[in-house]
Amino acid sequence: MIFGYARCSTAHQDVAIQCQQLQALGVSDSNILVDEGLSASSRDRPGLRSALDRLRNGDTLVVTKLDRLARSVQDAHAIASELHEKGVILQIGKSVYDPTDPLGKMLFTTTAMFAEFERDLISQRTKEGMARAKKAGRLKGKRPKLTKEQERQVIKWIQEGEITQAEMARILGVSPATITRTRKRLIENGYLP
């Protein structure tokens, strides 16, 4: 069987073009597994895991480009090794990867290096942009889940000790974790003992 894998790292991107390319490479629509909004820097991706679980000896996994599969040399080699051990063929675009061919192995590693390099550059640019925005006063972080008035109410409830954090969360329409984080911050800032 031939399976395809498509991935995009943000919600703003679309995998439709990758799916069309996979279909043009012989993958049926029902055998295309997708991860949307997930970075390839993590191997913890449901679509990838499903693909790796479904593949059997003699099957083929097709990706349009190597950076859709992995964004680090280590992950690219780990995935390729897992596929090879299962007897699965890895096809990148129109090329079939042969891990026993020294030239193919070198090209695979070089392509994976460029994917990792590109990921690192994107990360660095993002951090630099956020630092500039913060310095210019345009990056203020997340808006608090609770208003100042609600925080004062939380302080009062905690001091009185009559209701649980779960009840506070239900009354204020937030998660219990929000109350836990708020309490921790209030203690750190000296508003609560």
pLDDT tens-place string over residues 123-149: 999 999 989 988 888 877 777 889 989
Identify the pLDDT of residue 191. Answer: 85
Per-residue model confidence as pLDDT tens digits over 14-43:
889 999 999 999 999 999 999 988 777 778
Range in 66-70, 102-106, 129-133, 138-142 the model is least confident about: 138-142
Identify the pLDDT of residue 11. Answer: 64
Per annotation, catalytic residue among 9, 41, 42, 95: 9
Catalytic-residue membership of 9: yes
So what's the architecture of 2-118 in CATH?
3-Layer(aba) Sandwich (3.40)
Rounded CA separation 108/92 (Å): 10
The β-bridge relationship of strands 2-8 and 32-36 is parallel
Rounded CA separation 176/5 (Å): 38
Angle at 145 between CA 139 and CA 147, to 5 degrees: 100
Cβ atoms 15, 6 nearer than 8 A? yes
What's the predicted TM-score (pTM) here? 0.68
In angstroms, what CA-CA distances link 144 with 105, 147, 174, 179?
A: 50, 7, 11, 11
